[in-house]
Amino acid sequence: MTLKIYTKVGDKGFTKQVTGKMVPKYDLQIEALGNIDELQSYLGVVLANLSSKCENLRQEIQDLQRNLYLLQSDIVVKRHNDIGETKVKELEKRIDELNGKLPQITEFILPGGSRTGANLQYARTIARRTERSMVKLS
């Protein structure tokens, strides 16, 4: 059996939550889930265009994509809590490690440069929008 990618339940401006409840497509939960989905997808673009110099990032980016799936589950399934304080601390530790390898930044950086760098800058802006939608949802 082939899974259809459309349901025809959203044609009137509503969509169905996992619980079966119909909500407007602009519902805060739907918006947050959509932003996470977009970020996951764009990380796929980053992977598809990863330069050979940045190949060492592949697994880490794929792990981020998996974490975003867990975050979506945390949002839609009651008592599902895979992205908790421990995971946040792990991610913050990794950010600190990466920041420690960067030269001191004294001015704003224009997005661009390498293909991978530009793609990661765009993913960063999607992540920031996703964060804002998560704050609204919470």
List pLDDT tens digits, range 76-90: 988 888 898 999 999
Superfamily name with CATH number, domain 14-137: Cobalamin adenosyltransferase-like (1.20.1200.10)
Pairing of strands 22-24, 14-16: antiparallel
Mean pLDDT of 58-66: 97
Half-sphere exposure of 119 (CA within 13 A, CB side): 18
pLDDT level of residue 10 (50, 70, 90 thresholds): low
Task: In whole angstroms, give the CA distance from residue 105 to residue 99.
Answer: 10
Strand partners, 24: 14
Evaluate if pTM is beyond 0.95.
no
pLDDT tens digits, one per residue of 43-55: 999 999 999 999 9
